[in-house]
Amino acid sequence: MATVGTFSRTANGFSGSVKTLNLNVKTVTFSPV
């Protein structure tokens, strides 16, 4: 499986970046609901 992003744990979830052939997002945040 390929790596498509890098993420770090933050106080509110995860933050990082996503890079694929069609998508290049520098700031992504995943928060629990």
Domain of 21, in residue numbers: 1-26
Residue 32: inside a domain: no
What domain count does the chain have?
Answer: 1
CA dihedral 15, 20, 26, 27 (to 10 degrees): -30
Whole-model pTM: value is 0.59
Q: CB under 8 Å to 29, separation ≥6 — which residues?
A: 10, 12, 13, 14, 15
Identify the pLDDT of residue 6: 92
Residue 16: inside a domain: yes
Residue 4: inside a domain: yes
Nearest to 3, CA basis, from 28, 13, 17, 14: 17
Residue 13: inside a domain: yes
Alpha-carbon separation of residue 12 from 3, 17, 21 (angstroms): 23, 16, 28
**Tens-level pLDDT at each residue, the chain (33 residues):** 788 899 999 998 999 999 988 988 999 898 888
Identify the pLDDT of residue 15: 94
